[in-house]
Amino acid sequence: MSSVSRRAVVPVLLVLVVAAGIGLYLFQPWKAFTDTSVNEALPTASQPAAGPAMKDAGPRDLAQGGFVSHEHRTSGTARTVRLAGGGQVLRLEDLMTSEGPDVRVYLSREDAGAVKAGLGDGAVRLGKLKGNLGNQNYAVPAGTDLSKFRSAVIWCERFSVSFGAADLAPVGG
């Protein structure tokens, strides 16, 4: 091999190694073969809210719905719950979805079908997905009017795609 061709091979190999490293970082393909299970109990109380009107005897369901799949197979139930003391949580039950890079949980003003194209204006990020399997709770920021939100969304921020979403239908009574 001539010295000219050796000088050409080294930079090409270097570029390939860097590209492979970037690809591994972005896509994290090993997550296709891993699962993280979470099994949190529903909180029974929260810090007392201002005013006696917010205090209840116990947790009360406000809305719920089943997940539909978007970019990844997703199933389970999403519930919004008002806790004793007035705090609110989004509870994911029997969740089954894929692991992925930078996956978050959101509340959206859009319905579950519409969020496949984007979260829409006014979406509220509740936090990083704790696990792709099981039962988990996400605190809803104080002052959030849950009646304004139509769906719970499992969202990959890195690729701006919805893994799945659940329409939140008000619970009667």
**Coil, strand or helix: which one is 16?**
helix
Residue 63 bridge partners (DSSP) = 80, 170
pTM of structure: 0.79
Rounded to whole angstroms, the Cα distance separating 80 from 149 reads: 10
Q: Which amino acid is at 100?
A: G
**Greater model confidence, 163 or 15:** 163
User: pLDDT category, 173, cuts 50, 70, 90?
Assistant: low
User: pLDDT category, 100, cuts 50, 70, 90?
Assistant: confident
Query: Picking from 3-12, 94-103, 125-134, 154-163, which range would have the lowest pLDDT averaged per residue?
Result: 3-12
Say whether pLDDT at 63 is over 80: yes
Question: Residue range 63-87: average pLDDT?
Answer: 96
Q: Of how many residues is the chain composed?
A: 173
Residue 165 bridge partners (DSSP) = 68, 153
Whether residue 63 contacts residue 171, with contact meaning beta carbons closer than 8 Å, is answered with: yes
Place of tokens 């104080």: 142
**Residues contacting residue 21 through CB under 8 Å, at least 6 positions apart:** none
Say whether pLDDT at 52 is over 70: no
Whether residue 43 contacts residue 56, with contact meaning beta carbons closer than 8 Å, is answered with: no
Question: Residue range 68-83: average pLDDT?
Answer: 97
Say whether pLDDT at 155 is over 60: yes
Q: How distant is the alpha carbon of residue 3 from its chain centre? A: 53
Pairing of strands 37-39, 133-139: parallel
- Closest C-alpha to 115, from 103, 106, 125, 102: 106
